[in-house]
Amino acid sequence: MQRTNIEWADSTWNPVTGCHNNCPYCYARSIANRFKSSIETIAKKCRVSALAFTPGKNDATYEGEYHCPFPFGFDPTFYRERLAEPQSKRKPQRIFVCSMADLFGPWVPDKWIKEVFNACKAAPQHKYMFLTKFPERYELLYRKELLPELPNFYYGTTINIEYQMDTAYWTYNPKVRTFLSIEPITDPFPMIGYELPTLFTHDMVIVGAETGNRRDKVIPKREWIDPIVRECAATCVPLFMKDSLIPIMGEENMIRELPEGLKL
């Protein structure tokens, strides 16, 4: 686990890394590929017990004292030795689970997700925040009775462009706590034609701008943000603006709300 600058979390925890999505603004892929270990390094230093180097089927377990960051680059990889980390932290934290992966991508086996959930359950002092671009997986897990209905588990969905709006519906499940992360906002947020009460029946909405220096970086306009502010206010949904919006909104207009259940 690592302390994080992500404003809505205290730390990140990555028992699984990697993703087969191809988002152009993905910071996680750049980091993973930068620190990817060579096969020679893994063999000499890390003593990885399972070297199943098949994309999507990696299941690496470290045995040695050395640590190899991203032994398989950005291919999905499960680090079982990290599962106990939340238990080692007694002070309650908001933990962003798998900030370097999409834990709910269709390539991730149910058993990995189940082990991650079990590790979270073993450290109930923390709040766990999950985030995916595949919220339909929440629904599939729910139907299999594998999605914990716990008050400290928050299931988030990242949306940023219009066609992804439809995916937001998958996250609506009154039995579990959910949130939307509109980040990075890359287009005017579509409001017309959607059932706003359904869309905003979540426990929180996060909105942020793209960061970094990508050549085609999108700088959002204030008029893209204002409708979200209005809808959240009208539906009493806590809104959390990330600091990346300060240049657009001005510090005096920033809103940083959390639902009661996420307050420590």
User: Would you count residue 23 as binding ligand SF4 (CB under 6 A)?
Assistant: yes
Task: Single out the segment in contact with ligand SF4 by CB under 6 A; choices: 26-34, 116-124, 184-192, 205-213.
Answer: 26-34
Q: Which long-range contacts (CB under 8 A, 24 or more apart) does 160-167 make?
A: 160/184, 160/185, 160/186, 160/187, 161/186, 161/187, 162/187, 162/190, 164/133, 165/190, 165/194, 165/199, 167/133, 167/134, 167/135, 167/136
User: Would you count residue 19 as binding ligand SF4 (CB under 6 A)?
Assistant: yes
Which secondary structure element, helix H or strand E, spans residue 177, and what is its range?
strand 177-182
Q: Which long-range contacts (CB under 8 A, 24 or more apart) does 222-230 make?
A: 222/248, 222/249, 223/188, 224/185, 224/187, 224/188, 224/189, 225/185, 225/189, 225/249, 227/189, 227/191, 228/182, 228/189, 229/255
User: Would you count residue 6 as binding ligand SF4 (CB under 6 A)?
Assistant: no
User: Would you count residue 21 as binding ligand SF4 (CB under 6 A)?
Assistant: yes
List 102, 183, 210, 231, residue binding ligand SF4 (CB under 6 A): 102
Nearer to ligand SF4, 29 or 231 (CB): 29
Nearer to ligand SF4, 19 or 249 (CB): 19
What are the tokens at 212? 């970094």
Q: With contact defined as beta carbons under 8 Å apart, do 138 and 202 qualify? A: no
In the complex, the smallest distance separating the C-beta of residue 68 from ligand SF4, rounded to whole angstroms, is 20
Task: Single out the segment in contact with ligand SF4 by CB under 6 A; choices: 19-27, 89-97, 140-148, 247-255.
Answer: 19-27
Torsion of CA 195, 197, 200, 202, to 10 degrees: -120
Residues in the chain: 264
User: Would you count residue 167 as binding ligand SF4 (CB under 6 A)?
Assistant: no
Nearer to ligand SF4, 56 or 92 (CB): 56
Size of the site for ligand SF4 (CB under 6 A): 9
User: Would you count residue 28 as binding ligand SF4 (CB under 6 A)?
Assistant: yes
User: Would you count residue 207 as binding ligand SF4 (CB under 6 A)?
Assistant: no
User: Would you count residue 211 as binding ligand SF4 (CB under 6 A)?
Assistant: no
In the complex, the smallest distance separating the C-beta of residue 28 from ligand SF4, rounded to whole angstroms, is 5
Please give the residue ranges that form the binding site for ligand SF4 (CB under 6 A): 19, 21, 23, 26, 28-29, 101-102, 133
